[in-house]
Amino acid sequence: MAAPAPSPVARLADEPADHRFKGLPPDAAAAGTTLGELAAERRSLFTGGFTTPVLALSAERLEHNLAALAEYSARHGLAFAPHGKTSMAPQLFERQLERGAWGITLAVPHQVRVARAYGVPRIFLANELVDAAALRWLAAELDADPGFRCICYVDSPRGVALMDEALRAAGARRRVEVVVELGAGDGARTGARTEAECAAIAEAVAATGTLRLVGVAGYEGEVPGADLAAVRGWLRRLTGLAVSLDAAGHFAGLDEIVVSAGGSAWFDAVAEAFAELPELSAPTLKLLRSGAYISHDDGHYRRLTPFNRHPDEGGLQAAFTLWTQVVSRPEPDQAFLNAGKRDAAFDLHLPEPHMVRGIDGTVRSAAGLTVTALSDQHAWLRVDEGVELELGEWVGLGMSHPCTMFDKWQVIPVADAEGTVTDLIRTFF
């Protein structure tokens, strides 16, 4: 009997480890080595031919973070659909699904197509979808695979009308499942601003033959001036909306009612609010969507993680290190590293130097070094008086806001605590 064909995710290992991917060893490209073969060689990140700058994921910390949110969700009775736009890495999607994730959350049609190409069975599209070409593709995908489930936002009657028109033109046979998006308040991002508007959207959905209303959703991270009290207030509105739409009969005949929220800063408040949700006419799928947890960070989310408020619940660990090299020491208090905006997140906070790997391979603290600015391909480094830093040394930088890190690297080595590369993660942005 022939062996089963490898899965689409497994086939990623067959890609050449070539010039398309930053930081990979030039000799691997010259030899025609594949990504899978390179990972199997278990080279050292530091002495195995990788070139700087090179972004690495900690194998141990990645595993820790995957476990932390899976266990948190299970402990609080939450289904989990981690936001995949953070990584856009099918190998990581697979690991999240293996740990019990309900599905993957995404934001735009391209991301949905990537996820489907790699076998993701359930997708929560946290956006309104009014693109006729994308809806035509989605209708065909749903019709071709009865096991595929996709839920997306609606936040206006006009959006409902555009979806309905496109799906009718496409000859869609399955209804597209939608949730009403409750906006996080005046001046926030998307979503209907009032409960009355939400009710009107529900009525509009009911009048179509192409859509099915299955719940309510939103994103508490967009609450203007968000603090715990404001976030809790908005979450009470969201759960109250679910109750009122259910009482009005908008969820009649459903096997389950979807109530969804949750980024990476306030998922404790989401868990608390969803725990208080009264019984509805059908079982409730309480869907959490945190995504940045997978790599965590050394800036934005380190300061905001709910585990800071509830240390007994666990914790997350920053899993990214951007390894750069000192390429210029033009002044005693100044150095330049060979990584800049093309390589490092900078939309919220600048990278933080954590360690220096000397020419002899010894590692020391980066105390006294500060990134003050980023150019396209250089980091500006202030060197305090008395701090030694030599040309050619490697400097490991901690990153802020992983949502803008994964998109800068199409292949990311996963390295263990000894620096051995154990895997290579392929991203699609």
pLDDT grade for 161, boundaries at 50, 70 and 90: very high
In whole angstroms, give the CA distance from residue 15 to residue 36: 8
Q: Quote the tokens at residue 344.
A: 């490092």
Arithmetic mean of pLDDT, 163-182 = 98
Rg over CA atoms, the chain: 23
pLDDT (tens digit per residue) in 345-357: 998 899 999 999 9
- Please report the pLDDT score of residue 1 as a whole number: 66
- Please report the pLDDT score of residue 5 as a whole number: 77
- Please report the pLDDT score of residue 6 as a whole number: 84
Domain 1-59+296-429 homologous superfamily, CATH = D-serine dehydratase-like domain (2.40.37.20)
In whole angstroms, give the CA distance from residue 384 to residue 392: 18
Q: DSSP states of 217-258 as a string?
A: E--GGGSTT--HHHHHHHHHHHHHHHHHHHHTTTTTT-S-EE
Q: What is the H or E stretch that residue 169 is in?
A: helix 157-169
- Please report the pLDDT score of residue 401 as a whole number: 85
Arithmetic mean of pLDDT, 238-267 = 96
Closest to 33 (Cα-Cα) out of 15, 48, 11: 15
Arithmetic mean of pLDDT, 225-253 = 96
Other beta carbons within 10 angstroms of residue 49's beta carbon come to 15
Which residue bears the tokens 């998109």?
A: 407
In whole angstroms, give the CA distance from residue 320 to residue 303: 16
| Third-level CATH fold of 121-290 | TIM Barrel (3.20.20)
Are 139 and 148 contacting, i.e. CB atoms less than 8 angstroms apart? no
Arithmetic mean of pLDDT, 42-67 = 98
Arithmetic mean of pLDDT, 313-332 = 97
pLDDT (tens digit per residue) in 381-401: 999 999 999 999 999 999 988
Domain ranges of the chain: 1-59+296-429, 121-290
Arithmetic mean of pLDDT, 35-46 = 98
In whole angstroms, give the CA distance from residue 401 to residue 63: 19
Arithmetic mean of pLDDT, 113-118 = 98
pTM of the model: 0.96
Residue 299 has pLDDT above 90, yes or no: no
Which residue bears the tokens 């899976």?
A: 70
How many residues are listed for the chain in this entry? 429
